[in-house]
Amino acid sequence: MDVSVSKSYLIAVERYAEFGIDTNKVIERLEEIPISIHAWQLDDVSGFEKKETGLSGGGILATGNYPGKAKSIEQLWQDLEKVISLVPGEKKISLQSIQGDYKGNLSDRGDISTNHFSSWIDWAKEANVGIDLNPALYSHPKADSGYTLSSKDKNIRSYWIEYVKKVRNIASYIGDKLKIPCISTLWIPDGSKDITPSRYDHRINLKESLDAIYSVKYLKQNIIDSVESKLFGIGLEYFTVGSLEFYLSYAVKNGLGMTLDTGHFHPTEVASDKISSILPYLNDIVLHLSRGIRWDSDHVTTLSEELIAIMQEIIRADASGKIHIGTDFFDGSINRVGALITGARAVKKALLIALLEPTQIIKKYEEKGNNFGRLALMEDLKALPFGDVWNHYCEINNIPEDFQWINDIMRYEKEILVKR
Ligand code: RNT
Ligand code: ZN
């Protein structure tokens, strides 16, 4: 492709070269590191099991009723194609199991089968993306008691064990068909609003349920299993069964991946510090990037200091093969498609900033004991023209650069979304 190179990019190339950074090589690496974009931002975590897509409940809460929500799988695909066209680089699409092609006719969630995902596989091949598939253990009568896999009721436990087994089987099938490993993250809403004497009972139940689920083995080239911890949720203020300690221990002991959702920790804790802490013990870390405001509010991810810090940790540890970057937020109060693209572009930008860092120079200051130099250099690097590298990267991928894509989405809203 013949792309005219902007003057500002040429200047940026020289600025970064002063620090030994080859921006063209950085762009090549940026292109190859995939990000998994979550589809559930587009339908407010409703899915397509039933004709009426109501508000989600039972552990999951999407707020806002901005027009244009995807109410069918066709609308979801249409929106995802828009997203894909405005986010550069390798991509996967992450699904909740309730987003299968059920045509609103699934009488029981447990009736899920590979058939419900064959159109997804065809679509993904066409769109040139991988797929991740996560079991949904919420918004269901069998989750109403507040407990699923850790329930004291054996029938409830068995129902969900069988369900997760089926979803894993489909995930492995998808990975096999697409020849890209399908990540399957298990998150459950189990917990208690108030004081309970049964913490241990529930955690033992969960352990046994997980043992039953993961006793079925699949090829890692087809599926990567991961478990997602959480500190607390609304209505589960006192006790969350699947805590960090619980799942991290389980993941390390059983060779599973660990999913870190950036909204799932105390506000003064940061995922960026957890990465290097757990990386020595795990083969896979899955990231659910969201922006928690005061709690796990699932706001759209933005280019924050913490998002950049997370990407720096991945790049500095040279761990882009073990850390699977993905988004997870739901905001139904603004244009949902634009929201998803905003978050995904922010993640890619943060990754670019991390790749442009002259880490060796900073480390040299540090190793000489010059911590003023270390701090000042990192501060001044922030003002280097990464935006010009970003726009060049978009341009060579034939993707609208910053500001241009915003008009594109406003047009999409007028022409498509408001007419739904
Ligand atoms: C919920 C978890 C989980 C969900 C999805 C929809 O707090 O973050 O990952 O976002 O299962
Ligand atoms: Zn999550």
Look at ligand 1, atom 3, and give the residue with the nearest C-alpha.
Answer: 187
Of 288, 329, 330, 331, which is best to mutate to test ligand 1, by the most ligand atoms within 8 angstroms of its C-beta?
288
Ligand positioned closest to the Cα atom of 330: 1
**Euclidean distance between CA atoms 149 and 140, whole angstroms:** 13
| 228 CA from centroid of ligand 2 (Å) | 7
Does residue 329 have its Cβ closer than 6 Å to ligand 1?
no
Of 137, 228, 260, 295, which is best to mutate to test ligand 1, by the most ligand atoms within 8 angstroms of its C-beta?
228
Length of the chain as a residue count: 420
Of 42, 187, 236, which is best to mutate to test ligand 1, by the most ligand atoms within 8 angstroms of its C-beta?
187
Query: Is the separation of the CB atoms in 418 and 55 below 8 Å?
Result: no
**CB neighbour list of residue 58: distance below 8 Å, 6 or more residues apart:** 138, 139, 140, 143, 144, 189
Does residue 240 have its Cβ closer than 6 Å to ligand 1?
no
**Euclidean distance between CA atoms 220 and 217, whole angstroms:** 9
* Predicted confidence pLDDT, tens digits, the chain (420 residues): 456 789 999 999 999 999 999 999 999 999 999 999 999 999 999 999 998 655 545 567 788 999 999 999 999 999 999 999 999 999 999 999 999 999 999 999 999 999 999 999 999 999 999 999 999 999 999 999 999 999 999 999 999 999 999 999 999 999 999 999 999 999 999 999 999 999 999 999 999 999 999 999 999 999 999 999 999 988 899 999 999 999 999 999 999 999 999 999 998 999 999 999 999 999 999 999 999 999 999 999 999 999 999 999 999 999 999 999 999 999 999 999 999 999 999 999 999 999 999 999 999 999 999 999 999 999 999 999 999 999 999 999 999 999 999 999 999 999 999 999
Does residue 60 have its Cβ closer than 6 Å to ligand 1?
yes
User: Under CATH, domain 33-358 is a member of which superfamily?
Assistant: Divalent-metal-dependent TIM barrel enzymes (3.20.20.150)
Look at ligand 1, atom 9, and give the residue with the nearest C-alpha.
Answer: 187
| pTM of the complete model | 0.97
| 107 CA from centroid of ligand 1 (Å) | 23
Domains of the chain: which residue ranges? 33-358
Look at ligand 1, atom 2, and give the residue with the nearest C-alpha.
Answer: 187
Q: What pLDDT, on a 0 to 100 scale, did the predictor assign at position 25?
A: 98
Does residue 157 have its Cβ closer than 6 Å to ligand 1?
no
Token pair in block for residue 346: 């922010």
Q: Pairing between strand 257-261 and 285-289?
A: parallel
Q: What pLDDT, on a 0 to 100 scale, did the predictor assign at position 55?
A: 52
Does residue 132 have its Cβ closer than 6 Å to ligand 1?
no
Does residue 251 have its Cβ closer than 6 Å to ligand 1?
no
Of 38, 96, 98, 328, which is best to mutate to test ligand 1, by the most ligand atoms within 8 angstroms of its C-beta?
328
Does residue 288 have its Cβ closer than 6 Å to ligand 1?
yes
CA distances (Å), origin 165, targets 13, 57, 168, 262, 356:
50, 23, 5, 27, 42
3-state secondary structure of 352: helix
Which residues are known catalytic residues?
Answer: 187, 228, 230, 261, 264, 288, 296, 298, 328
- Phi, psi (rounded to 5 degrees) for 95: -120, 150
**CB neighbour list of residue 236: distance below 8 Å, 6 or more residues apart:** 59, 146, 189, 191, 192, 193
- Which atom of ligand 1 lies nearest, measured to the CA of 40? 6
Which of 338, 316, 247 shows the shortest CA–CA distance to 285? 247
- Which atom of ligand 1 lies nearest, measured to the CA of 228? 9
Ligand positioned closest to the Cα atom of 240: 1
Query: Is the separation of the CB atoms in 94 and 326 below 8 Å?
Result: yes
Does residue 96 have its Cβ closer than 6 Å to ligand 1?
yes
Does residue 134 have its Cβ closer than 6 Å to ligand 1?
yes
Does residue 38 have its Cβ closer than 6 Å to ligand 1?
no
- Which atom of ligand 1 lies nearest, measured to the CA of 233? 7
Query: Is the separation of the CB atoms in 316 and 361 below 8 Å?
Result: no
